[in-house]
Structure 1
């Protein structure tokens, strides 16, 4: 069983009414329905060393959750539900057995708790409604954020999982021009660390609110090439370039990075279109019948590193999603 399936199984065991209460007010639901003592601790404001994205700490034996208070924030909600994930995992033999066989159980436990929190805050029907059968774009992150109680980071995780090619959703702080968060999918994963600085005079640094930039970047963001993604990238670095579409918001710039190496020259598009990363034009593998939705659809150009099956273009799900 995969991480995604364990997360879905553990969340499905929670009564529907309790899941709704957790999504709306995690602190109150934890105390009232799960008999968990929730304690605010100002000092808890650093990310977990094992890679989890939260400001909390749980004592599973004593049913205590400590968190960095930020009243009403979506990040606080995610933190509380991440810590609930630790409690659920600690009480589940199947999840503990799975973790014991993993090469890095601590990191995978944090990822599993992240997935549990995301599953509660951002249920699959909400994602499907926003995407409406299309592949993710930068605009979908704003729409998904407005349609749910999930943070931008959780929305980025969910949308990255639906990309039909290897890629990433990246959130960049405009004030400091540094990466605030990156969610990647595909193999090998794109490693875009938090805190990575956007170089001076880089197009991603100079965007004004609501301005858009389309071009190519290297994964480390040090190089950028302005130009339409439908055109061929500079050939001397083509194998290292990622197509990028970015839009600046008031506080953050959202960018989607796509790896089209080996297939980028086959992507066609109208150079007059505002956005040429048309999902219908993305590279595909041979068609197959999706076991999730039953459609005869093509999968993405990468295989899921957990189940080995690329995501269906119709529903965006692989075998384990």
Structure 2
């Protein structure tokens, strides 16, 4: 859920009401969503080994999909049991929004319809798995959502780290983000609130001082707190310095970062004008589509030159043709000499 949608919680509440109106029990979903959904006559649940079928993929923030006819919730089995519970509830959210008129109208009113629908699905799933009283009980000792709150919720519920991240982000007092990071600093899920964008899934955040400190000393019982955390984006820009906490939950790191009003500090005002910009060592060629490490730049346009000598000066429209197989228009370097079919389709 890369963007924050203020109306997502309202939509999620309406989704719960729609589920109840259809004879569903949210309490039963909390205990075991698969058991409940697989018993229904108006829905199918399909578990697939790895990849979601192409006719069902919605570009979701989860590894699942929704097929409208017949109504089918698709979940990949390669995920943990916790993550599968979050995913099937997320896909149930798509079903409710696609089949309930009032919910569909709410989606249509949004400028970013797909983003809003996906965000509402995340909030709906997280709310089911982590009821308010459970989140309140875990947050009170720390004055609000903290890294230890996330770890405690992971230990006392069957909710996935993704669900916990969404619930925690929704409880932040101001702009901030909650991320799940693996043992080399790669983001596996993130949710945000306010003006801060969540770090992209699969982005490398190991240069974040908070994350780097935790990676260097993976003590399962320690909580790291720093005032110089920051999120890096693909543009090469970062956020301003953020107040952050990090703690391990199994083999993943929970990272909570806020612009101000950190629950674990008595005073935490925002730090303006502390954002950084860096020049990425890697770039993607707009001509041949290859990702390459930057070693040289064009003296004319100053853009990175890829190994095939493409840069910003290269006019792609003069070197394009359509593949007879996939019908995509590609650069001629992606075709073998004299071939009408691109190398990917050969």
Q: Distance in 2 between matches of 1:54 and 1:63?
A: 18
1:154 pairs with 2:163: yes
Deviation per CA, 1:40-66: give whole Å up to 9, x if none.
Answer: 2123269x9866322222223312222
Matching residue of 1:59: 67
1:220 pairs with 2:232: yes
1:24 pairs with 2:35: no
Q: How does 1:152-191 map to 2 (within 5 A)?
A: 152-174=161-183, 176-187=184-195, 189-191=196-198
Secondary structure of 1:281's counterpart equals coil
Matching residue of 1:108: 116
Matching residue of 2:267: 281
Q: Distance in 2 between matches of 1:58 and 1:221?
A: 30
Shift of 1:155: 0.7
TM-score (norm 1): 0.68
Matching residue of 1:207: 217
Report the RMSD for the aligned CA atoms in angstroms: 3.2
Q: Distance in 2 between matches of 1:22 and 1:208?
A: 34
Q: How does 1:37-116 map to 2 (within 5 A)?
A: 37-44=44-51, 52-70=60-78, 73-116=81-124
TM-score (norm 2): 0.64
Q: Distance in 2 between matches of 1:239 and 1:3?
A: 24
1:240 pairs with 2:250: no
Q: 1:14 aligns with which of 14, 19, 24?
A: 19
Deviation per CA, 1:44-94: give whole Å up to 9, x if none.
Answer: 269x98663222222233122222125871111111111111211112111
Shift of 1:154: 0.8
Q: Which has the higher contact order (CA 8 A, sep 6+)?
A: 1
Deviation per CA, 1:120-163: give whole Å up to 9, x if none.
Answer: 11222221222237211100001112232211111111111111
Shift of 1:11: 0.8
Shift of 1:7: 1.0
Q: Distance in 1 between matches of 2:85 and 2:67?
A: 18
Matching residue of 1:317: none
Matching residue of 2:302: none
In structure 2, runs of 5+ residues without a counterpart are 1-5, 271-346
8 A Cα contact 1:52 1:114, kept in partner: no
Q: Distance in 1 between matches of 2:14 and 2:254?
A: 31
Structure 1 residues 33 and 19: CA distance shift in structure 2, 3 A: farther
Deviation per CA, 1:218-260: give whole Å up to 9, x if none.
Answer: 32199xxxxxxxxxxxxxxx98211222223441222221214
Aligned length: 252
